[in-house]
Amino acid sequence: MNKKALVVEDDRNIAELLRLYLEKDGFEVVIASDGGRGLELATEEHPDIVLLDIMLPVKDGWEVCRGIRQTSKVPIIMLTAKGETLDKISGLEMGADDYITKPFDVKELVARVHAVMRRAEGGDAGGEKKLTFDKLVINLDSYELIVDGKRIDTPPKEMELLYHLASTPNRVYTRNQLLDEVWGFDYFGDSRTVDVHIKRLREKLEGVSDQWSLKTVWGVGYKFEVLNQ
């Protein structure tokens, strides 16, 4: 069965160009020209990936992304005309998996689609992927983060980053290592992506326990520090 892509884009030329390339690549493509319809189709069509423009009528891309993330972990690639760091950070904070700046090379975008989908579908088949520390449970099987007994809504990539760091406590990872090992070697972004996700995780975890913490190793990268390890 073909994978299904939802394209939410109000520029008809861009939407049809994406349809052409994605269908050529074997995708079934559904198009919405405004954010309201895009959010409806995300629920009705159960796409395997969403390509989401930011500047949209009815509902903008931020609102659509938030709405999708309330019920689904479907991979989302944000399309931004500005290419500003603030736009990219906002999309990542709301749970987007990747972003690409217009004008873009369509072949590169299709490559990113496959990279994001591989990451979303990846994971080891065997073994429970659950880590437990003082007042913290990281369950990658169910993508649940339990902090001090409460379930905390956490975007998939934040979960994967935290799980990766906590799997090897006290090991220091460079930003490039984390991009390679969490986002995938074919990720096209930059190291600020890691900083954004660490910042968001710290907001959820800071001060919860004195037995562990997310630490910055200045000039190197990050680690999940556990005392008495």
Q: In whole angstroms, what is the distance from residue 7 CA to residue 53 CA?
A: 8
Residue 40 has pLDDT above 90, yes or no: yes
Tokens, residue 28:
């079934």
Contact 186, 110 (CB under 8 A): no
Find the mean pLDDT for residues 31-60.
95
pLDDT (0 to 100) of residue 198: 94
pLDDT band at 115 (very low <50, low <70, confident <90, very high): confident
Which range scores top for mean pLDDT: 23-37, 101-115, 182-196? 23-37
Find the mean pLDDT for residues 91-106.
79
Contact 198, 155 (CB under 8 A): no
CA proximity to 121, closest of 194, 51, 193, 49: 49
Residue 119 has pLDDT above 90, yes or no: no
pLDDT (0 to 100) of residue 197: 92
Average pLDDT for the chain: 86
pLDDT (0 to 100) of residue 113: 87
> What is 130-226's CATH number, 2.60.120.1060, 3.40.718.10, 2.30.110.10, 1.10.10.10?
1.10.10.10
Q: In whole angstroms, what is the distance from residue 217 CA to residue 175 CA?
A: 11
- Partners of 145 in the beta sheet? 138, 152
**Domain 4-121 coded CATH 3.40.50.720:** no
Q: Where are the domains of the chain?
A: 4-121, 130-226
To the nearest whole percent, how much of the chain has pLDDT over 70? 87
pLDDT (0 to 100) of residue 154: 87
Residue 57 has pLDDT above 60, yes or no: yes
Q: What letters, b where the CB count within 10 A reaches 16 and e where it falls short, cover 48-84?
A: bbbbbbbbbeebebbbbbebbbeeeebbbbbbbeeee
Residue partners of 64: CB distance under 8 A and separation at least 6: 8, 35, 38, 39, 42, 52, 56
- Which of 66-70, 128-132, 177-181, 185-189 is predicted with the least confidence, judged by mean pLDDT? 185-189
Higher local confidence (pLDDT), 54 or 1: 54
Residue 126 has pLDDT above 50, yes or no: no
Q: In whole angstroms, what is the distance from residue 121 CA to residue 160 CA?
A: 12
Q: What is the DSSP letter of 116?
A: H
To the nearest whole percent, how much of the chain has pLDDT over 90? 52
pLDDT (0 to 100) of residue 125: 43
